[in-house]
Amino acid sequence: MSKDKGGARRFATVPVALGDRSYPIHIGSGLLGWLGGEIARHTKATRAAVVTVPAVGRRYAGRLLPSLREAGLETGQIAVRDGDSHKNLREAARLYDALLDFRADRATVVVALGGGTVGDLAGFAAATFLRGLPFVQIPTTLLAMVDASVGGKVGVNLPRGKNLVGAFYQPRLVGIDIDTLASLPVRERAAGLAEVIKAGLLWDAAFFEQLEGNAENVLRLKPEVLLPTIERACAIKAEIVAEDERESGRRMLLNLGHTLAHAIESLSRYRGILHGEAVAIGMLFAARRSEALGLCPPGVAGRVERLLGRLGLPTDLPPYPRRAYLSALRVDKKRRDARIQFVALRAVGRAETVPLTPAEILPAGE
């Protein structure tokens, strides 16, 4: 681990231990300029198809592509449409077409350069084109860095619901260049931080306390806190996913706040609210509900609310009618029969799933 003059670490690696599907997450500054060699080494590919949206491509492809070519890979750049509304089967079909034009074969690595949407879409194409090409993720948003880069969830939306089609497909390598956060609007940084806070809240009380001490400095991208924060958030998720790759048990804990978040996003038709913002609301809701059910001691929800509030994250449930929430909860895809595995808190740093009906999650009169 190298240190610069100020003593801040410049580079870290988080291993994701999944047997023969294990891979490293490299985190650092200036990473785009040397990642090509790592990609060549981890994939043995001879060609790289870099999938990105135009705005990200204009900004960062110029750093990544030369590094890939220096490593001996033939490169191509494929632009996909920006925005979650284009994360669908039609855009996947366009991407397959572009891969055919690039003459992609099984020695071609698909490199997703961008936010969560690009990673999900390109990852789904990588998982399914020719029954699977090697895949590398280079997330450029804080949310994608701490969330999408661990776990191997890839997929697209259907008209009737989000992420209904996809796969568990692990990348060979994730490269996080923290320099790319400089161009990320503060509101999106805060939304990404909501998932970081979630990781602490469900798994690591000391990390949650650290964030209570320095969250604003993460938001301001202070290097001495930014890198270790991303590193710890990735490591927590890696630890949980390593125990439960296909989400049959403990991995469900990562859904803390997400049952309500999905309902809020669906009711708002994904307009005007970022995913991390919906998670912030859902996470506080889960904390309050856990207190009300006597599952965790009073005071937890207050700490969550204060921390989220300091970052300007929303905390109040949008005022849709209760019956609208109930009906949105019923289509949650983790539903198994009538009950939902609701993630509740036992304390700061400790979560567990509780099977609840929608009406128990959202009792009348609250």
So which residues are the catalytic ones?
131, 153, 195, 237, 247, 251, 255, 258, 262, 275
Smallest distance from the beta carbon of 116 to a copy of itself, in angstroms?
15
- Considering only residues 157 to 176 of the shown chain, the ones binding a copy of itself according to CB under 8 A are 158, 160-161, 164-168
72 is a contact residue toward a copy of itself (CB under 8 A): no
Give the CA distances from residue 83 to residues 88, 97, 120, in Å, rounded to whole numbers and listed in that order. 10, 20, 12
Going residue by residue from 281 to 320, which x/- string records binding to a copy of itself, judged by CB under 8 A?
----------------------------------------
- Backbone angles phi and psi of 12, in degrees to 5: -150, 155
Please tell me whether residue 132 binds a copy of itself under the rule CB under 8 A.
yes
Which of 167, 103, 114, 162 lies closest to 136, judged by CA? 114
Among 22, 46, 85, 183, binds a copy of itself (CB under 8 A): 46
Q: Are 154 and 127 in contact (CB under 8 A)?
A: yes
Q: Give least dist CB 267 to a copy of itself, A.
A: 19
Q: Least Å distance between CB 316 and a copy of itself?
A: 31
Q: Which of 58, 69, 85, 100 binds a copy of itself (CB under 8 A)?
A: 100
Q: Which of 79, 127, 241, 307 binds a copy of itself (CB under 8 A)?
A: 127
Which residues 6+ apart lie within 8 Å of 352 measured at CB? 253, 295, 343, 344, 346
Cβ proximity to a copy of itself: between 70 and 105 the closer is 105
Of 76 and 200, which CB lies nearer to a copy of itself in the complex structure? 76
Q: Which of residues 76-95 bind a copy of itself (CB under 8 A)?
A: 89, 92-93
Which residue in this structure is represented by tokens 């913002």? Answer: 277
Which helix (H) or strand (E) segment is 12 a member of?
strand 11-16
Give dist(CA 202, CA 65) in Å, integer: 38
Contact flag: residue 105 with a copy of itself (CB under 8 A): yes
Q: Which residues contact 90 (CB under 8 A, 6 or more apart)?
A: none
Could you tell me the smallest distance in angstroms from the CB atom of residue 74 to a copy of itself? Answer: 11
Binding-site member from 17, 55, 107, 324 for a copy of itself (CB under 8 A):
107
| CA dihedral sign of residues 84, 88, 90, 94 | positive
Piece of the chain touching a copy of itself by CB under 8 A; list 78-86, 122-130, 264-272, 313-321: 122-130
x/- mask, a copy of itself, residues 336-355, rule CB under 8 A, reads: xx------------------
The answer to whether 177 touches 261, Cβ cutoff 8 Å, is no
Using CB under 8 A as the binding rule, whether residue 96 contacts a copy of itself is answered as yes
Which residues does 264 contact at the CB level (< 8 Å), separation at least 6?
273, 278, 281, 282, 317, 318
Q: Strand, coil or helix: what is 270?
A: coil
Do the beta carbons of residue 354 and residue 340 sit within 8 Å? no
Asked if residues 361 and 329 have their Cβ atoms less than 8 Å apart, the reply is: yes
Nearer to a copy of itself, 153 or 198 (CB): 153
Contact with a copy of itself (CB under 8 A) among 187, 334, 339, 350: 334
- Rounded CA-CA distance 358/332 in Å is 10
CA 119 to chain CA centroid, nearest Å: 9
Does 22 sit near a copy of itself (CB under 8 A)?
no
Q: What is the C-alpha to C-alpha distance for residues 227 and 144, in angstroms, rounded to an integer?
A: 15
Tell me the per-residue interface mask from 203 to 242 with a copy of itself, x by CB under 8 A, - otherwise: ----------------------------------------
**Would you tell me which residues interact with a copy of itself (CB under 8 A)?**
46, 89, 92-93, 96-97, 100, 105-107, 127-132, 153, 155, 158, 160-161, 164-168, 246, 333-337
